[in-house]
Amino acid sequence: MSGEFLVAASLANFALVAYDKFLAEEGGGERRVSERHLHLAAALGGWPGGVLAMLLLSHKTSKRVFLARYAAAAALHMLLLYEFDVESVHFGKLL
């Protein structure tokens, strides 16, 4: 995975969490973003953006089971990066 992919995944996940927050507040019967999709987005590398959105928007921060699964998805992503020794992911190369 390239650093550009991880930045894009992070931005996309930020948008996904923000959209879910919007739907939660709107309450107009619109289907919400499933927690499974949020966990998948985290596992694919978007977890930093998701965490930032959750903190800035105060969304899903009190749901302990969700947060534990989200942390596990982020840990899985980091483990896979470590396992495959992807050097292009180092954030120093993005700057």
* Close Cβ partners of 2 (under 8 Å, ≥ 6 residues apart): 88, 89
Model pLDDT for residues 1-32, shown as the tens digit of each residue: 577 888 999 999 999 999 999 988 887 667 88
In the chain, where the domains are located? 3-89
Query: What residue has token string 């507040």?
Result: 25
Pair of tokens at residue 27 = 């309450």
- Kindly report the pTM of this predicted structure: 0.77
Model pLDDT for residues 42-88, shown as the tens digit of each residue: 988 889 999 999 999 989 988 889 989 989 998 888 887 776 655 55
DSSP strands (E only) in the chain:
none
